[in-house]
């Protein structure tokens, strides 16, 4: 059984309690009404879907209900770390990931509290 660490409950819980919620750290455009259709399509529909290290949103749907972020290796399906929503992208030195541009996730109205 895959265990996922919820950074709010501070417990490792069964994967059955969680739901994947897409790519993390996607910044909403400042003035979304002013962007082109192509820019909107890129923001709204296109995701990186990279092999290896990915940053994802997860929700502890059958626990505290809160959204959080996770760094996961899509090849091994191993969670490298989880961290609270709103925190910057976590740099993972052991994976060689060195994000120089750090985007912060802005909480939206749909986030559970
Ligand atoms: Zn939780």
- Please tell me the distance from the alpha carbon of residue 107 to that of residue 56, in angstroms, as a whole number: 14
pLDDT of amino acid 102:
41
> In angstroms, what is the span from residue 89 Cα to ligand 1's centroid?
19
> In angstroms, what is the span from residue 60 Cα to ligand 1's centroid?
5
What domains does the chain contain, in order, with CATH numbers? 3-112 (3.30.2270.10)
> In angstroms, what is the span from residue 63 Cα to ligand 1's centroid?
5
**Token couple for 59:** 């929700």
Provide mean pLDDT across the span 19-38: 95
Residue 49 has pLDDT above 70, yes or no: yes
pLDDT digits over 83-103, tens only?
999 999 998 876 544 343 344
> In angstroms, what is the span from residue 16 Cα to ligand 1's centroid?
12
**Token couple for 68:** 């959080």
Alpha-carbon radius of gyration of the chain: 15
């Amino acid at each position: 059984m895959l265990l996922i660490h919820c950074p709010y409950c501070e417990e490792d819980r069964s994967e059955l309690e969680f739901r994947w919620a897409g790519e993390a750290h996607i910044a909403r455009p400042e003035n979304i009404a002013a962007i082109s259709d192509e820019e909107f399509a890129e923001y709204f529909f296109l995701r990186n879907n990279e092999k290896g290290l990915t940053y994802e949103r997860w929700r502890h749907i059958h626990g505290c209900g809160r959204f959080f972020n996770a760094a996961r290796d899509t090849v091994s399906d191993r969670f490298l770390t989880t961290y609270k929503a709103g925190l910057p992208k976590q740099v993972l030195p052991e994976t060689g990931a060195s994000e120089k541009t750090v985007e912060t996730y802005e909480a939206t109205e749909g986030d559970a509290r």
